[in-house]
Amino acid sequence: MRLSNATLCLVSFIVFSFLQSPAFAVKRSYVVYLGGHSHGVQSSSIDLDAVTESHYHFLGSFLGGHEHAREAIFYSYTRHINGFAAHLDDEVAAQIARHPKVVSLFLNKGRKLHTTRSWDFLGLDHNGVVPSNSIWNKTRYGEDTIIGNLDTESKSFSDEGYGPIPSKWKGICQNQKDAGFHCNRKLIGARYFNKGNASVVGKLNSSFDTPRDKEGHGTHTLSTAGGNMVPRASVFGFGKGTAKGGSPRARVAAYKVCWPPVSGNECFDADILAAFDVAIQDGVDVLSVSLGGDPTAFFNDSVAIGSFHAIKHGIVVVCSAGNSGPADGTVSNIAPWQITVGASTMDREFRSVVVLGNNMHYKGQSLSSKVLPDKKFFPLLSAADAKLANASIQNATLCQAGALDPKKVTGKILVCLRGKNARVDKGQQAALAGAVGMILANDFLTGNEIIADAHLLPASHINYTDGLAVFAYINSTKNPMARIMPVTTLIGTKPAPFMAAFSSKGPNTITPEILKPDITAPGVSVIAAYTEAEGPTNEDFDKRRVQFNSVSGTSMSCPHVSGIVGLLKTRYPNWSPAAIKSAIMTSATTLDNANERILNASYIKAGPFSYGSGHIQPNLAMDPGLVYDLSTKDYLNFLCTLGYNDTLISAFSQDNYKCPGSINLANFNYPSITITNLVGSITVTRTVKNVGTPGTYRAQVQKPVGISVKVKPKKLKFKKVGEEKTFIVSLKVKKGEAIKEYVYGQLVWSDHVHYVRSPIVVKAV
């Protein structure tokens, strides 16, 4: 993506001639991004007020006066991000966008959470936390991104055994309009941001004036990243064990930016930028971000902008990849300064076996606490054969509301097809029609990805192949029968992990030379703390309440990585965000627990566009041996390769920056190597830093099909910690052997103790 040339000066403004907008012009909410600030971290209230006044002055030059600007602006970003959000008509917005002081101007777009909950609309996201000891972080994406009465309702956020809140923390507990919401020495801060939402939906009622989690997403993700150790946790008695976050002794904070959906959007750019700006000032160390939208140019992306300002202050930003898989090119949060996380399974199942009348057994999953009479078979019916006369076969097959005939369904086990409406809603519709149980069968796209949901009737979710067998059995006999066995918890199941079908995939559609996602982590049927404001299915008909719940999505995998980042920040407080990211990526594995290549949900070998560098291995990440490091300047050089000019990048970074005379994006020191449109040959450069004991590392290469790979030198000798060595990798197309699609290999540097692995992704033309 390319931006037009623009210049920015923070305080000096040029007054354009005033153009009156027509009275009937429709105003929309926009974000006007002006780069960074010249004032320091220890800015005073006078400094912040001066920035706001400068925003009024600037916008007033377009609107005809200071007071008009005051009425239009609903956010003034004053701390680390320079800009504002305002109601503007499109004509004025176009004028502002052309101003040389403006880095970018974009609509206040909506984004989504990255949790699938019980739904099969793929594309939601999550929240953030901070990791251990004096580490804190922000919970940022969530439909409701925070925790309700954490200090009293959830043991995951109890402050028992915690000392005073560290002095570096500058945040607040924003509970002035919700006196029942409390922070403590564990949950040390909570804020909410809803003006961007209000600018789209209109005036909000008082229920929006709270950081309280009324939906469960924030509680779940925050406890995954930084929740306390809580013994005897379970969902209806299943999966019983000790719940704990990745950084269980972390201090945590919550920043609520997501709200009930508006046309499918839950989290708006203006609110997201406001949360980033404040969280950096509050003193967070890790930001865990489980939300996203369609990839766009970095300067038009609130998460990319906010993340960049965060990493400038040493804050690691972890983002969910999105839930729009399994299609290619769907990954979101693709800036190189973010850690982007896909979702995969773990070796635990909540098994509920389906037994047919022909004695065939099919292994499904469920978290239903309801059971059918032992060993009793019931008539089995395809939902397609249970439709009401005025309903479509498609709606009936999907077990949608108003499509099932109770006269046909009563007393039977109903087989519903996955897709479109919520998985648990299918069971509810079956139950309302009189079914005694439900078998939920996957479609082709969802393959082997089966999810344990807290159904309200006896139910089992089976994979695509087994679903075909069940439908075939129904069609093969006049009196099909079945039973559903009670749920049991199994540990050590194989193969695991494999990729979730919903997990968004590469290639990166903005900068394909940067491999995304970066990593994968557990994101299917994850048990963590939950709000008791709603039932485990988040459906109105579900009156049950749980303290822990099983939820799926890249929203759930993201905080796994955030928690591990917290541990790394604690152990290596001087490491850069890029070094921490490298440690996580280069220590990951591409093998499952059967020592075979990680598979996708169709049990076909997955690749780097699914899992990035592989599945996270926390223990190995703590001692990576070598890291690929990057500084803020390296990221600015990266932007130069995309065509952004010196003046615009200087405004973005608030540094006097000049693009190097010659720079190649292929040499960007990323922990993976991705070459698109390779013609002939290319040589790329990488630099590694020793963060372990002295030693000698030797290169091992697995070559992509049709590509020759040579590494020079083949051996790197390190004598001390912090020592850096540079090497080159030459890649060449083998005539007659290369194929014109992406192929994969890997480079491993090893001293026989550490295995520093980087994926190689190449497409020849």
Closest CA to 592 of 582, 580, 600, 602: 600
At residue 479, φ and ψ (nearest 5 deg) are -130, 70
Dihedral, 534, 537, 543, 549 alpha carbons, nearest 10 = -70
CA angle 143, 147, 148 (to 5 degrees): 110
Q: Which amino acid is at 490?
A: L
The CA distance from 128 to 581, in Å, is 16
559 cis-preceded (ω within 30 degrees of 0) = no
Query: How many CA atoms lie within 13 Å of 269's alpha carbon, on the beta-carbon side?
Result: 25
| Residues in a beta bridge with 364 | 352
Active site residue 217: yes
At residue 635, φ and ψ (nearest 5 deg) are -70, -35
Within 10 Å of residue 567's Cβ, how many Cβ atoms?
22
Sign of CA dihedral 522, 218, 297, 326: positive
CB 184 within 8 A of CB 522: no
Active site residue 613: no
Mapped onto helix, strand or coil, the DSSP state of residue 131 is coil
Active site residue 592: no
Beta strands in 407-503 (DSSP E): 413-417, 437-441, 459-462, 481-484, 488-491
Closest CA to 288 of 264, 257, 331, 323: 257
Look at the block and give the residue holding tokens 């080159």: 728
Question: Could you say which of 223, 555, 576, 672 is catalytic?
Answer: 555
CB 37 within 8 A of CB 79: yes
Helix 554-571 vs helix 217-226: angle between axes, to the nearest 10 degrees? 30
CB 744 within 8 A of CB 608: yes
759 cis-preceded (ω within 30 degrees of 0) = no
Question: Could you say which of 47, 89, 90, 151 is catalytic?
Answer: 151
At residue 288, φ and ψ (nearest 5 deg) are -110, 115
| CA 463 vs CA 248, 460, 650: distances in Å | 35, 10, 53
CB 320 within 8 A of CB 467: no
3-state helix, strand, coil in the chain (%, to 5): 25, 30, 50
Question: Could you say which of 37, 99, 114, 217 is catalytic?
Answer: 217
Look at the block and give the residue holding tokens 């038009």: 300
Give me the long-range contacts of 716-720 (CB less than 8 A, separation at least 24).
716/688, 716/749, 718/626, 718/690, 718/694, 719/694, 720/690, 720/694
Beta strands in 269-314 (DSSP E): 286-289, 291-292
DSSP state of 393: H
Those residues with Cβ within 8 angstroms of residue 410's Cβ, 6 or more apart along the chain or in another chain: 433, 434, 435
Catalytic residues, by residue number, are: 151, 217, 555
